[in-house]
Structures are given as C-alpha cells and as structure tokens.
Structure 1
Amino acid sequence: METFSSIECFVRSAEVGSFAEAARRLSLTPAAVGKSVAKLEARLGVRLFQRSTRSLTLTEAGQLFLSEVSASLHTIQNAVANLASAEGRPAGTLKVSMGTVFGRLYIVPLLGEFLKRFPAINPDWHFDNRQVDLIAQGFDAAIGGGFELPQGVVARKLTPAHRVLVASAEYLAGREAIVEPDDLKSCDGILIRSPQTGRVRSWQLTSRAQQHSPLMLKARMTMSDSEAACATAAQGLGIALVSMPFAVGYLEAGTLQRVLPDWYVDDGNISIYYAEHKLLPGKTRAFVDFIIEQFAERGLGERFSAI
C-alpha cells in the first residue's frame, strides 16, 4: 500500500510538474510528497525527476515509468471509487468546467433533477470560458465547444455549435435590405473577441445550400461574450455574430431577428469532454449520460441548430 501511495505521488507530480501542486491536490505537504517520491526512486534504483529550485522535469526513466503506470493507476483508483460508492450508487465530488453563461442558462437548471437521481454526488462546478486541462487540473468533465482534443480525452457531441447574425428591428428599419453577404459591408458589426487568444477571428458564412462566403462585417465594436453582444444588438447598435445558445432566447422573444437567415457559421460542436479510462468513475459516467439524455429530451440540439 505504501508503494501505491508513492506511485500516486509520482504520477500527480509528473502531471502538474510540481511537488507543491501535487501535494495540494493530494491533501499532503510538499515535503511528504517529495519524500514519498524519493522512497520510490530508492526502491526502483533510478532517478525519476530532475529537480531544481524552479522546475521539476521527468528523466528518461521517469517518462518511461509514467507511461507504464499512469493508466493503471487511474483504473485502480476508479475501481476503488466505484466500489466505495454509497450502496453501489455513484458518489463523490464531481468537478466540472463549463462556460459561464452557457452553464448558467442550460446546465445549472438541470442540477435539481441530477441530484434527485444521484444524491451522493457533490457538484464542484467551475464556470470559465477558457479550455481547461482535464487531466492536469483534476476535472472529471468539461462542457464547451471549439476545444482541441488532447490525447487521453474523449468528446461526446451535445449539439452543433452554430453562430448566426442578429440585429434589432430598430437597427434594420430604414436600411437597404440585406439579402446577400456582400450587403453586410456597410453595416455596423458587433464582433466577438476570442477569450483564448484575444483576437477577433475571421469567419466564413455557410448557406443552407452549402455555398460559402467570407463574413465582411465592418467592426464597430468588439465583445468577448456572446450574451453581451446580444444585449448590445438589442439596443439597436449593430449586427452581431453570436452563438445560437445565446441568441435563441432573444430570437424567440422577438427582441432580435436573424439577418441573412439562410446563412450561418458552422463552428463545430458543443460537446461534453472527459478523460478516457478503461473504467470510468461512476460519478462521471452518471453525469455524462445524464447530460446527453437531457439535451436529447429537451430538443436542445434542434433548438440550437441554425439550419
């Protein structure tokens, strides 16, 4: 059991590159983690880390050992967690990352039903519009779109990630009709700045007939959030390109209307992400299956489609 604990300290330290951070996640002291790894190195007869005052890097032997034991450690931990679940039910802390507004609008309202089904699970939900490192940061799952898929992480599609052009009736009144993408050149654009890069992306519009055209919308202002862009467009200040999950409430209320309704931006999918394990923890499996089920039952995939 002491060896298992030492291996866990080694794997966590390797994942985060720090004894101090590994200690925080394991609820130990940095000295205890360092001592445990040193004992493991003595037992194996090899040095697993190159240590300095500023960095902790794996040796060649450490990289090899990590590749051999990491997956097995996760499998064993998940098996123990599943057996330890209260009366066979999923249990434990469920750490999930999701977009701030998207999570509040579409995931938080599901929480009551989820806890009714799985009362032994304790949600630990983080709201952030940036991609997280599931494995290194210890997340069980994440919900979002446009993320790169790192090795060891799988994604299950929830809904298409479509963006549409919207404006208020007030803004469109008295203007020449906008009937094709070229007509956007003279319009005031409310553009979205990427929270990951800080840049305004160049978008390509796609029509229902699968024609393509670059988005040529004059930048009047930029926002870093689609909800804010919708609220700005609702004031009659321009045309915004926004994600459907944020636009749909305004469209259904009649506060905004689609501009060029036969055109949209295809930005991939909104998915639920989780680490790939031979034995997925019961709490994670329960959450993934529940979210997929709820999105299907509520027809959110169809509701968020721009087609």
Structure 2
Amino acid sequence: METLANLESFVRSADHGSFSEAARRLALTPAAVSRNVAMLERNLGVRLFHRSTRKLTLTEAGEAFHQAISGNLSDIQAAIAGVATAGGAPSGVLRVSMAPTFGAMHILPLLPDFITRYPGVRPEWHFENRQVDIIAEGYDAAIGGGFDLSPGVVARNLAPAHIIAVASPAYMADRRLPASPADLAKLDGIVMRSLQSGRIRHWTMRDAAGAQTPAPLKEAFVFNDPAAMRRSALLGLGVAMLVVADVIEDLESGALIRLVPKWYADAGPISIYFASRTLLPGKTRAFVDFIADAFKQGRLAERFAGSLG
C-alpha cells in the first residue's frame, strides 16, 4: 500500500510541474519530494514523469494516474484533518486569500472572535488583488467577487458587490453635484485598469426601477488598485467608482460623499469560495460558517447594497 507522503508528493509535483514548488507546498525539501516520487514509480513499476533540467511533465501513465487519484486524495487528506485533532475540534493552518481593503476592513476584525472559538486553528491569510486558484495553490478558502468557478470549487454568497460613485466634500465644494450618471463626465475620474484584461474599467449604472445608463468618467487618474483609488478620492483628486464595502466607513464618517445616490453598478456578489469536497476539513467548514454567520448577524448584505441609496 502506497504511503500518503508518496501520493501527496506526486500530486503536488504534477499540479505545479516542479519538485521544488511541490516541496514548498508540502514543507519538505525538493530531494525528499523527488525521493518520494521515485519510490512511488518503483513500487508501481511505471515512470510517471519525464524529467529534464528545465521541465517536469507527466508521462501518459502519469497523466492517467493523476486523474484517477487526485480527487480521492483530497478526500483522504480532509478525512485525516477532520479526525487528527484534539477532541475533534477544528485545527491546522487556515490559508485564506482576500482583497486587501475588504479583508482588512471587514474580515480581519472578526479574527479575535474566531481564534477564541477555535484556538487550534492557525490563520495564514493572504491580502492580494487577484483571483487565486484555490485547489492548485493550496488555499482553504478565498473571499472576494467575480471568481471563475473552476471544477471542484463552490461559492457561498455573502453580500452584493455594488459599485457607487464617491468623492470628497473638498473636491465637490466648488462644483455642481451631478444630477445623473452622464453628468459624471464633467468631473475628474479616478479609474482602474484591470489586472486581468489590461483595460480601463467603465461601468453602466442602474437605478431601483431597472433603468440603465453609462457612467462615462474621464480618465484623469489611472490606477490598478482599488485601495489607491479610495485614497485618491479621500485626497480630493476626483470621483472614483468603488464597491460600497470599501468606502462604507468613509461615507458614514463624512470623509466621502456619494454622488448620484439613486444609481449603482452591480458587480455580482461578494462570496466565500472553497473546495467542494465531500469531506471538507473541519477548519474550513468552521471558517465558512463563521464568516457567513457574522455577515448575517451584522446585516452586511443590507449595508453593502448600493440599491438602497
């Protein structure tokens, strides 16, 4: 019977095309991973990888073996994680990816209560403006919006990601408030260049009745980070189109004001994403349920709804 270490080394190496990267994910040395894979090949009597100094690729037999065991291995790992805990309580490293502003503002404040309830869990949280591959990169969960639901990943919606137009009181002091989204074109726009497409993102806004109209912001300032856009709006540089969740504290304090308050753009839901395993690790299930309950108790779905004006 093959050891779990051999199988884990093979699957991680196949996923990342590298013994070194597999070693980093498994907290082993590259030599140990290579040795585990070699032992697996010897026991099976087949070569699983074509090796070269630059590249590691699966053989035909390796491809078939990887497809056969990768899903089952995840369930085995989850089962081990679920029972190998003190008293059955959730434990282990919890790797989560989330957007920097949203994560620091709305998820990080929940951490003290979470670790008080689950002291055996050790958070390893990554604050980053990108869509991670949850399964391939070894994350337990990710929080954000607009993720592609790759095979094996599910989403649990938390709140709407509504985009609104904001500016500082100082910027608007000597300017006329826009009466409609079309009037935003008369103001200095703080816009975002998409990290995925490289294009500048412009929005179409809607109202509660369902009417839609473009919001043609001038490209006075171009950034690739929502946090920089928010900071620029606070500095009085112009108008930014940002998610309600990222500016709600600024709106409540008066540091920013909402323009054309009956209008918003819908960027889909803010969700928590995780692997759709039959045997989900206890730490992941505890985190998903904890975050969903916190959003429900705080009525954050309502607070983040730009449709409510």
Q: Partner of 2:101: helix, strand, or coil?
A: helix
How many Å apart are 1:229 and its aligned residue? 2.3
> What residue is the counterpart of 1:8 in the other structure?
8
The match for 1:120 is 120
More off after superposition, 99-108 vs 18-27: 18-27
User: Partners of 2:178 and 2:142 in 1: how far apart?
Assistant: 38
Corresponding residue for 1:297?
Answer: 297
Aligned counterparts of 1:176 and 1:78: Cα–Cα separation in 2: 58
- Report the Cα offset of residue 46 of structure 1: 2.6
Structure 1 match to 2:249: 249
CA contact (8 A) 1:17 1:57 kept: yes
Cα pair 1:230 1:250 within 8 Å, conserved: no
**Which residue identity does 1:219 align to in structure 2?**
E
Which residue is equivalent to 2:51?
A: 51
Identity within the alignment, %: 53
How far residue 191 of structure 1 moved from its aligned partner, in angstroms, is: 1.0
Distance 1:237 1:10 in 2: 53
User: Secondary structure, in 3 states, of the residue corresponding to 2:142?
Assistant: strand
Query: SS in structure 2 opposite 1:246?
Result: helix
Q: Per-residue CA shift, 1:2-35, capped at 9, x if unaligned? A: 4433222111111111111112222333223223
Q: Is 2:182–2:214's contact at 8 Å kept on the other side of the alignment?
A: no
Quick one: distance in 1 between partners of 2:227 and 2:233? 10
Query: What 5-or-longer segments of structure 1 have no aligned partner?
Result: none
Secondary structure at 1:90 match in 2: coil
- 1:5 to 1:278, Cα distance in 2 relative to 1, 3 A: same
Aligned counterparts of 2:115 and 2:3: Cα–Cα separation in 1 = 36
Whole-angstrom distance in 2 between the partners of 1:84 and 1:177: 60
TM-score (norm 1): 0.94
Alignment match, 2:79: 79
C-alpha distance in 2, partners of 1:20/1:267? 38
1:305, 1:150 → 2: CA distance? 27
Partner residue, 1:140: 140
Aligned equivalents of 2:27 and 2:230: distance in 1? 43
Shift of 1:299: 1.0
After TM superposition, the score normalised by the length of structure 2 is 0.93
Shift of 1:139: 1.0
Instruction: Give the root-mean-square deviation of aligned CA atoms.
Output: 1.7
- Secondary structure of the residue that 1:219 maps to in structure 2? coil
1:21-100 alignment, distance < 5 Å = 21-100=21-100
- Equivalents in 2 of 1:72, 1:250: separation in Å? 47
SS at match of 2:306: coil
Shift of 1:279: 0.1
Quote the offset at 1:174 in angstroms: 4.1
